[in-house]
């Protein structure tokens, strides 16, 4: 069976050039970059070249990049690093209600440790309102952390404005750019962020490698103590091969980001037009004009998203659901709930996320599979049959 992968926001395939770049560092280039002999220095060279490429992707200086074990770790370092660095503890942090768990659960943890956190609401398409940030600021606010692009609906936040509000008040600003870096142009200078998290496996690099941009002069407490790696900000021998892979993935992304963006956007929009023509009672979650070019989040009324997902997978189409199974119960996504999507509709939601290698042929193959599966599931749904009988 041919498999069609439409889940690139979950992860991406590792680019063949990335694998090629990594292999020497798993073989003869195995040295420890902290060693002074030739083996160590060769590894160090690979590490520092990768740092330059990763920094270039976001318009940063190499010394402003701290390599971590994931995007999640980068956000932990950013948020806890600021909060723990504050003398006397406490403090106030502003975030949004639609963050990835990599930020949301860190905020819940610092709340348990005595920090006060404000979770900003979002509008119908998942946008925060800058005025809400202004209103939430207090004399105690030490950090604002807002995601650049949402992983579920793709909505891109007004980060420049949010960062300006923070700067005007002398408050640090962090953004989780795990979904945006490499997909749309990301430049730390124009965004105005002090801290920015991103991750290799979302941009055709390996899993288990992330990075935190730390603007020069930003106070940050380390979370992992040990050796002096990463300018004392993250101890532990670096994952050299993974970082080299991140470097190559970043340089490929830097070259492609502008051109691919438009190609992906038109393929994604074509997909939406096609399924809207074929399937009734569906809604778009978010706003395509303000979203990542590869992301499409669709609610199929009278359909259970998990059943749809599983049935699509059986036919070779991989997507992602708008709900998650938590302790046996299907919980609608916190993002959709925050956007005011009714929980029943949220449960019938799927996310399709396209990638660089996605073709029009794959989309043309997916549309009839999706259409037939939705029809088949609805034919078994008493709710749907009742609604249609009642003329709804």
Active site residues: 325
Is 295 a binder of ligand PLP (CB under 6 A)? no
Nearer to ligand PLP, 6 or 279 (CB): 6
Q: Which residues of 46-82 are buried (b: 16+ CB within 10 A; e: fewer)?
A: bbebbbebbbbbbebeeebbbbbbbbbbbbbbbbbbb
Cβ of 185: how many Cβ atoms within 10 Å? 16
Nearer to ligand PLP, 246 or 300 (CB): 246
The token duo for 25 is 């560092």
Q: Looking at the chain, how many residues does it have? A: 392
210 binds ligand PLP, rule: CB under 6 A:
yes
**Nearest residue (beta carbon) to ligand PLP:** 71
- The pattern of x and - marking residues 159 through 178 that bind ligand PLP according to CB under 6 A reads -----------------x-x
Nearer to ligand PLP, 176 or 301 (CB): 176
Question: Is 40 in contact with 32 (CB distance < 8 Å)?
Answer: yes
Helix (H) or strand (E) holding 44: helix 38-57
Residue 290 DSSP symbol = G
Residue among 141 and 151 whose Cβ is closer to ligand PLP: 151
- Residues in Cβ contact with 53 at an 8 Å cutoff, skipping those fewer than 6 apart: 247, 248, 250, 251, 254
Q: How far is the CB of 210 from ligand PLP (least distance, A)?
A: 5
Out of 141, 175, 179, 333, the only residue in the binding site for ligand PLP (CB under 6 A) is 179
Q: Which of residues 133-162 bind ligand PLP (CB under 6 A)?
A: 147, 151
For ligand PLP, the binding residue among 71, 154, 192, 332 (CB under 6 A) is: 71
Q: How many residues bind ligand PLP (CB under 6 A)?
A: 12
Does residue 72 touch ligand PLP according to CB under 6 A? yes
Q: How far is CA 332 from CA 30, 179, 247, 318, 355, in A?
A: 46, 21, 36, 20, 25
Q: Determine contact, residues 230/95, Cβ cutoff 8 Å.
A: no
Q: What SS3 state is found at 186?
A: coil
Which region, judged by CB under 6 A, interacts with ligand PLP, from 33-41, 65-73, 220-228, 268-276? 65-73
What is the token pair recorded at 100? 């990835």
Q: Which stretch binds ligand PLP (CB under 6 A): 48-56, 57-65, 69-77, 226-234?
A: 69-77
Q: Whole-number minimum distance, CB 308 to ligand PLP, in Å?
A: 21
Task: Report residue 252 as tokens.
Answer: 């490929």
Closest CB to ligand PLP among 183 and 356? 183
The secondary structure of the chain in percent helix, strand, coil, rounded to multiples of 5, reads 45, 20, 35
CB of residue 353 to ligand PLP, shortest distance in Å: 10
Q: CB nearer to ligand PLP: give 76 or 373.
A: 76
- Is position 238 an interface residue for ligand PLP (rule: CB under 6 A)? no
Q: Which is nearer to ligand PLP, 103 or 374 (CB)?
A: 103
Q: Is 77 in the site for ligand PLP (CB under 6 A)?
A: no
**CB 319, min distance to ligand PLP, A:** 15
Beta bridge partners, 318, equal 5
- CA dist 160 and 32 (Å) reads 39
Pair 220, 230: CB distance under 8 Å: no
Rule CB under 6 A: choose which of 8, 100, 233, 268 binds ligand PLP. 100
Q: What is the DSSP letter of 10?
A: T
Residue 199 as a binder of ligand PLP (CB under 6 A): the answer is yes
Report the nearest approach of ligand PLP to the CB of residue 106 (Å).
Answer: 11
The distance of closest approach from Cβ of residue 213 to ligand PLP in the complex, given in angstroms and rounded to an integer, is 14
Please give the Cα distance from 34 to 42 (Å, whole number). Answer: 10
Write out the residues near ligand PLP by the rule CB under 6 A. 70-72, 100, 102, 147, 151, 176, 178-179, 199, 210
């Amino acid at each position: 069976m041919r498999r069609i992968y439409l889940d690139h926001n979950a992860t991406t395939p590792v680019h063949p050039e990335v694998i090629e770049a990594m292999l020497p560092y798993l073989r003869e280039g195995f040295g420890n970059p902290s060693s002074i002999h030739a083996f160590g220095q060769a590894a160090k060279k690979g590490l520092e070249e990768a740092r330059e490429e990763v920094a270039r992707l976001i318009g940063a200086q190499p010394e402003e990049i701290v390599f971590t074990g994931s995007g999640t770790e980068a956000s932990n370092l950013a948020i806890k690093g600021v909060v723990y660095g504050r003398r006397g503890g406490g403090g106030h942090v502003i975030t949004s209600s639609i963050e990835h768990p990599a930020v949301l659960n860190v905020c819940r943890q610092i709340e348990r440790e005595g920090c006060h956190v404000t979770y900003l609401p979002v509008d119908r398409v998942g946008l925060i309102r800058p005025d809400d940030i202004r209103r939430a600021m207090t004399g105690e606010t030490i950090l604002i952390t807002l995601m650049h692009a949402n992983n579920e609906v793709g909505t891109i936040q007004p980060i420049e404005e949010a960062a300006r509000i923070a700067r005007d008040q002398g408050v640090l600003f962090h953004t989780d750019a795990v979904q945006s870096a490499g997909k749309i142009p990301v430049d730390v200078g124009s965004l105005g962020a002090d801290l920015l998290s991103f991750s290799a496996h979302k941009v055709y690099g390996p899993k288990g490698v992330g990075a935190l941009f730390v603007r020069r002069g930003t106070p940050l407490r380390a979370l992992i103590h040990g050796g002096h790696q990463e300018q004392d900000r993250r101890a532990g021998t670096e994952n050299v091969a993974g970082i080299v892979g991140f470097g190559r993935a970043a340089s490929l992304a830097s070259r492609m980001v502008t051109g691919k963006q438009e190609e992906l956007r038109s393929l994604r929009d074509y997909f939406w037009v096609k399924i809207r023509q074929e399937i009734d009672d569906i809604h778009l979650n978010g706003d395509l004009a303000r979203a990542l070019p590869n992301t499409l989040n669709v609610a199929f009324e009278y359909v259970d998203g998990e059943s749809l997902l599983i049935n699509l997978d059986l036919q070779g189409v991989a997507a992602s659901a708008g709900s998650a199974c938590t302790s046996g119960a299907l919980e609608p996504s916190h993002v959709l709930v925050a956007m005011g999507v009714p929980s029943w509709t949220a449960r019938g939601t799927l996310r399709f996320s396209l990638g660089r290698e996605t073709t029009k042929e794959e989309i043309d193959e997916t549309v009839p599979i999706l259409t037939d599966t939705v029809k088949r599931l609805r034919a078994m749904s008493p709710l749907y049959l009742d609604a249609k009988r009642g003329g709804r």
